[in-house]
């Protein structure tokens, strides 16, 4: 599968697609950059007691929420679940009792219908018998009626009278049966059914009362733990220390360097006594600075590549391979991380102890002995972290002592210097970035072709001053220049405000060195090249 063969006629679409890919890549890079800033700011804020107190409050709220979950589980099991099961049983029992009542009522209705039918039949037969009686009497009194008609009317009267008597007996029997069933229905069957319904409803009321108590007990059981959580929140609020937070601000932003001293008087009248042909510089000459100008402006031995890194040596546990200030910051960062881990383990231990107390008071919720292995492991981790913190604090005390000693030595050396040095930039502006020595060399943002042209130039930059190394610098990163304490270097490019100065050795090797590691002397009367004799 190849774009060259499959998409040969889709130049515009490929143009849009590749541009979209690059735009998306840049968006993601921007997202990562913003995330890095957020994480760094978050890490800084967590060191303050107010943030730690808020974190502890959140932990207590987590435990508080756990107790609310316990309440919910208890209510769901003891109250809601029990009510739903009991409600189902009540529905089944009620349905059975009501069915029995309906059957009894239907049977009584059937008896009444039978009695009513027999009554209506008896009434109808009586009317027919009366009609037959009247018909017989009329024919019997009629002289014109034949004897056969009279006899027939008589037989009809006897038949109707006999049927009326039978319906009368049947009606009497049905009436007696209905009265007995009705008495049984209202005095035996229905009272029994209603009694069962009454007992069922009373049991429902009792169960509801028990659930009311269970509902309250669910809350009452967690009140001691919730009280402990609230007490923990109050203690967290009391632990806020404004003075400690102020000290943390100082520790976070303190550079460790002394403020700049007074500027000395610079006698520019020395230039008056110089002859026009005199090519010497105004600063006192040093034997170590007698350097051939060819070496100064000669071609650099190698190209200075700022992108990429040289292979670093193995990192030591105490960071002794780093410069003093970097080592101090690395150790402080590690101590802060260990303290955060220790705080997490402490919070976990407190949570386990609270859970163990709950299990001891309520054995049905869990076995307290099951938490012992986890609690022992947490205690072991806390001991290990405390030992690590103690070891790193010892190294930090050692490096802080060395930094203080070198700072005193540097301050004393500033007195004999023509220009007050320290953290003053080559242009005399004070650099307020305390972390400049921990950064990498300045990055080039030019086009790749412009970058290559800059470093392939046959005429290197001229020297504009010199410097003396106060601290040793290893120069692991590509583009940096290693130097020893007390070494003299040329300045070929000033500090642009990023904490790095470009320098050159006498042999022509160039690179960037931390501005805070050197004492800089610039030639004020020179805008570019300076010739050293």
Is the pLDDT at 66 greater than 60? The verdict is yes
Evaluate whether residue 455 is within a structural domain: no
Residue 311 lies in a domain: no
Q: What is the H or E stretch that residue 274 is in? A: none
The verdict on residue 249 lying in a domain is no
Residue 313 in domain: no
pLDDT band at 149 (very low <50, low <70, confident <90, very high): confident
Nearest residue to 318 (alpha-carbon basis) of 310, 326, 327, 307: 327
Cα–Cα distances in Å, from 530 out to 492, 523, 524? 10, 8, 11
CA dist., res. 522 & res. 533, Å (int): 16
Are 103 and 213 part of one and the same domain? yes
DSSP H helices in 239-256: 242-253
Q: What's residue 431's pLDDT?
A: 41
What integer is the mean pLDDT of 52-63? 81
Residue 499, domain member (yes or no): yes
**Residue 80 falls inside a structural domain:** yes
Query: Are 21 and 58 in a shared domain?
Result: no
Q: How do strand 518-522 and strand 510-514 relate by DSSP bridges?
A: unpaired
Domain end call among 243, 275, 290: 243
Within this chain, do residues 73 and 138 fall inside the same structural domain, yes or no?
yes
Q: Is residue 411 assigned to a domain?
A: no
**C-beta atoms surrounding 173 within 10 Å:** 13
pLDDT value for 44 = 66
Half-sphere exposure of 468 (CA within 13 A, CB side): 14
The number of distinct structural domains making up the chain is 4
Is pLDDT above 50 for 2? yes
Grade residue 444 by pLDDT with cuts at 50, 70 and 90.
very low
What is the band of 228 on the pLDDT scale with cuts at 50, 70, 90?
Answer: confident
Domain with 218 in it: what CATH number? 1.20.1270.60
DSSP string, 4-53: HHHSTT-HHHHHHHHHHHHHHHHHHHHHHHHHHHHHHHHHHHTTSHHHHH
Tokens of 140: 């019997």
Percentage of the chain beyond pLDDT 90 is 10
> Quick one: pLDDT at residue 432?
40
pLDDT at 356 over 90: no
Most confident of 39-53, 122-136, 393-407, 430-444: 122-136
For position 148, what pLDDT does the model report?
86
Q: Write the CATH number for 487.
A: 2.30.30.40
Indicate whether 19 and 78 sit together in one domain: no
Look at residues 243, 265, 292 and tell me which one is the last residue of a structural domain. 243
What pLDDT score does 273 carry? 52
Q: Which range of residues forms the domain containing residue 164? A: 49-243
- The pLDDT value given to residue 84: 87
In a domain, 5, yes or no: no
pLDDT at 110 over 60: yes
Same domain (yes/no): 58, 152: yes
Reference 322, options 472, 470, 422; nearest CA is 472
């Amino acid at each position: 599968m190849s774009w060259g063969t499959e998409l040969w006629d889709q130049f515009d679409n490929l143009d849009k697609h590749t541009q979209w890919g690059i735009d998306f890549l840049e968006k993601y890079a921007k997202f990562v950059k913003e995330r890095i800033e957020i994480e760094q700011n978050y890490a800084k804020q967590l060191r303050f007691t107010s943030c730690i107190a808020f974190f502890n409050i959140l932990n207590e709220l987590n435990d508080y929420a756990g107790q609310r979950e316990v309440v919910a589980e208890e209510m769901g099991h003891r109250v809601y679940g029990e009510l739903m099961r009991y409600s189902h049983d009540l529905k089944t029992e009620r349905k059975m009792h009501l069915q029995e009542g309906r059957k009894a009522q239907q049977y009584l209705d059937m008896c009444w219908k039978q009695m009513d039918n027999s009554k209506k039949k008896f009434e109808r037969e009586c009317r027919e018998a009366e009609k037959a009686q009247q018909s017989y009497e009329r024919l019997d009194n009629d002289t014109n009626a034949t004897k056969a008609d009279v006899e027939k009317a008589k037989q009809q009267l006897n038949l109707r009278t006999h049927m009326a008597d039978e319906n009368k007996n049947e009606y009497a029997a049905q009436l007696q049966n209905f009265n007995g069933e009705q008495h049984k229905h209202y005095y035996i069957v229905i009272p029994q059914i209603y009694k069962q319904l009454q007992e069922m409803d009373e049991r429902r009321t009792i169960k509801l009362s028990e659930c009311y108590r269970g509902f309250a007990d669910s809350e009452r059981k967690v009140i001691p733990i919730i009280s402990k959580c609230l007490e923990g929140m109050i203690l967290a609020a009391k632990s806020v220390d404004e003075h400690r937070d102020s000290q943390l601000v100082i520790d976070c932003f303190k550079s460790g360097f002394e403020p700049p001293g007074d500027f000395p008087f610079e006698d520019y009248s020395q230039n008056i006594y110089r002859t026009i042909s005199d090519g010497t510089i105004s600063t006192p000459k040093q034997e170590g600075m007698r350097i051939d100008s060819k070496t100064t402006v000669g071609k650099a031995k190698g190209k200075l590549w700022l992108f990429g890194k040289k292979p670093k040596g193995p990192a030591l546990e105490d960071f002794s391979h780093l410069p003093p200030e970097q080592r101090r910051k690395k150790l402080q960062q590690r101590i802060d991380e260990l303290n955060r881990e220790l705080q997490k383990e402490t919070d976990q231990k407190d949570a386990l102890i609270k859970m163990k107390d709950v299990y001891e008071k309520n054995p049905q919720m869990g076995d307290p002995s099951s938490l012992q292995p986890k609690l022992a492991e947490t205690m072991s981790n806390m001991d290990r972290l405390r030992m690590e913190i103690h070891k790193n604090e010892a190294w930090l005390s050692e490096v802080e002592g060395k930094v203080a000693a070198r700072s005193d030595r540097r301050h004393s050396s500033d007195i004999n210097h023509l220009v007050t040095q320290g953290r003053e930039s080559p242009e005399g502006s004070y650099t307020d970035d305390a972390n400049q020595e921990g950064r990498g060399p300045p990055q080039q943002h030019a086009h790749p072709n412009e970058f290559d042209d800059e470093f392939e130039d046959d005429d290197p930059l001229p020297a504009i001053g010199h410097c003396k190394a106060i601290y040793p610098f290893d120069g692991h990163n590509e583009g940096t220049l290693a130097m020893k304490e007390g070494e003299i270097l040329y300045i070929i490019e000033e500090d642009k405000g990023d904490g790095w100065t470009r320098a050159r050795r006498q042999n022509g090797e160039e690179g960037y060195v931390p501005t805070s590691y050197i004492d800089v002397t610039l030639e004020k009367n020179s805008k570019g090249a300076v010739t050293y004799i």
